[in-house]
Amino acid sequence: MALVMTVVGYFWPFRQYRNAAVGSELERAAAYRYNRRLARSLPAYLNRWAALSCLLLAASVACPAWLAPAMGIGFALAFCMTIHIAHVYLLFWRQ
């Protein structure tokens, strides 16, 4: 179980974020500042997901035909996560 949590922590940046939509105005502002501070680490996660996307795309070409659809689905999910992390990074960085 510890290995799973380590892998999740390595690839999932959003478990540390706080909800900036609940609480008083000061609590929301503090959560938003905290989230903006965490956004500085998003390029590392972006690189990890991009590398995983490249690995899965290469694996989908090199693997047997019966395994290629699973690798393609994995690539699509990893690429969507890459785009999502880039969007959050740009959302917090431009302000």
Q: 59-72: per-residue pLDDT in tens?
A: 999 999 999 999 99
Cβ atoms of 29 and 41 within 8 Å: the answer is no
Task: Give the pLDDT score at 44.
Answer: 92
Tell me the residue range of the domain where 63 lies.
2-93
Q: 8-61: per-residue pLDDT in tens?
A: 888 888 888 899 999 999 999 999 999 998 888 899 999 999 999 999 999 999
Q: How many domains does the chain have?
A: 1
